[in-house]
Amino acid sequence: MFLISFLLSFVLHGFAFICRKLGITLLAQRFLLRVLSSGPVPQHVAFVMDGNRRFARMHGKQVPEGHGEGYLALKRVLEICLRLRIRCVSVYAFAIDNFKRSPEEVDALMNLAQSKLLELCEHGELLDQYGVKLNVVGRTELFPDFVQAAVKRAEDLTKNNLESILNICMPYASRDEITTAVEDCVQEALSRHSTTGTDDGTNVLPMDITEDMITSHLMSMQRGSPPLDILVRTSGVTRLSDYMLWQCCEHTQLHFSPAYWPDFGLFDFVPIILQWQRAVWFGRKQATVPSTYGNRTTHSSRGRSVERKVVGRRVEVESY
C-alpha cells in the first residue's frame, strides 16, 4: 500500500507538471479530478485569497481589476473543489482591518462585493448545480446598507441548498470571532445558572466554559461547517493573518502557495490534495466524516479542555 500510494503521488505530481509546461488543460483537468476524487477527499478547505493587488501591479492593471480577477479565480477554484466532492469551502474575502485601506479601494471593494454576491446567486448555475448554500460569515453590520442587502438576498436565494457550503468570510477577523464566541458562552452560562437557581446568576465558574462550548459558538461553526482539514494561503506569504485561528488545530494542514490568487488553479491544488491524501493513507489522520464541528466529541475534562487544546495543537505546514 505504501509503495502504491507513493508511486501514484509521484505520477500525478509529474503529470501535473508536464501538463502545466505543455499547456494541456481540459483533458488533463478531467483526468486529475477523476483520479483525485476516487480517493479520500477533505471535507473542508479554506483559502486566504492573497495577491490580487500584486497581481494587478505585475500586469499593469488597476487594483480593482486585480480584485475582479480574484473573483474569477474564486469561481474557478470553487468548481474544482465541488467536483472533487469537497463539501465545504471557506474563503477570506475581506478582513475587518481592510476598512483601514484607502477610501477609494474600500469603495471599490464594497461595489464589487455587492455585484458579485448577486451575480453568484442570481445567476448561480454553479451553486444550484452542486446544491451550494452561501454563508457570509463576519461582522456584516459594518457593511454599507446596500452590501448588507446583497448579503441577505444571496443567503436567502441559497438557503434551501443543502449539499455543500460556501463560507465567504467578510468582514472577518478570527480574534473577533473567538471573542464573540466566548462572550456568548458566558452569557449562556449566566442564563443557565439564573434559570436553574444554582446561584444569583452573576457568577460563571471556569468549568462552565469548555472547548466544545466555544467551538459551537463560533460564527463559522454555527453555519454547519465540518472540521477544517486544509488551509491554503496564496502569494507566498507565510502567515495566517487572523484567519480561522481556532479552527486550525489537530490535523489541519497549512499550505503556502507561491501563486497569486488570480493565478491559482488545479495544478497548484493537486500537490495540496495529494499531501492530505498521503496523510490519510499513511495513517497520520482520519478522513473527515461530514458532520458539524461543534458536535465533535473530545476526551478532555471540563475546565481544562481549553488549556490542553492550546498546548496540544498540532499543525502540519507545507510550502511550495
Three-state DSSP at 317 gives strand
Three-state DSSP at 169 gives strand
Distances (CA, A) of 240 to 112, 139, 247: 24, 19, 12
Q: Name, in order, each residue with C-beta under 8 angstroms of 151's C-beta and a sequence gap of 6 or more.
A: 117, 136, 140, 143
Cell of 193: 445558572
pLDDT value at residue 18: 58
Cell of 117: 454576491
pLDDT value at residue 198: 55
Distance (Å, whole) CA 86 – CA 290: 10
pLDDT value at residue 290: 39
pLDDT value at residue 302: 29
Q: How many CB atoms lie within 10 A of CB 192?
A: 13
pLDDT value at residue 7: 52
pLDDT value at residue 208: 78
306, 298 contact by CB (below 8 A) = no
Question: With left for phi above 0 and alpha for psi between -120 and 50, is residue 288 left, alpha or beta?
Answer: beta
pLDDT value at residue 273: 95
Which domains, ranges and CATH numbers included, belong to the chain? 41-266+289-319 (3.40.1180.10)
246, 177 contact by CB (below 8 A) = yes
Please list the residues that pair with 46 across neighbouring strands. Answer: 90, 231
What are the two backbone dihedrals, phi and then psi, of residue 44, each rounded to the nearest 5 degrees? -145, 120
The whole-number mean pLDDT for each consecutive block of 10 residues of the chain, a chain of 320 residues, reads 48 56 65 88 98 97 95 96 97 97 95 94 87 97 98 96 97 97 90 64 72 93 94 96 92 95 94 92 60 34 31 47
Q: Rounded to two decimals, what is the model's pTM?
A: 0.81
What are the two backbone dihedrals, phi and then psi, of residue 24, each rounded to the nearest 5 degrees? -85, 120
Cα-atom radius of gyration of the chain, to the nearest Å? 21
pLDDT value at residue 231: 98
pLDDT value at residue 318: 57
Residue 228 one-letter amino acid: L
Give 92's Cβ-side CA count (13 Å radius): 25
User: Which among 246, 274, 271, 277 has a CA at the least distance from the CA of 256?
Assistant: 271
pLDDT value at residue 71: 96
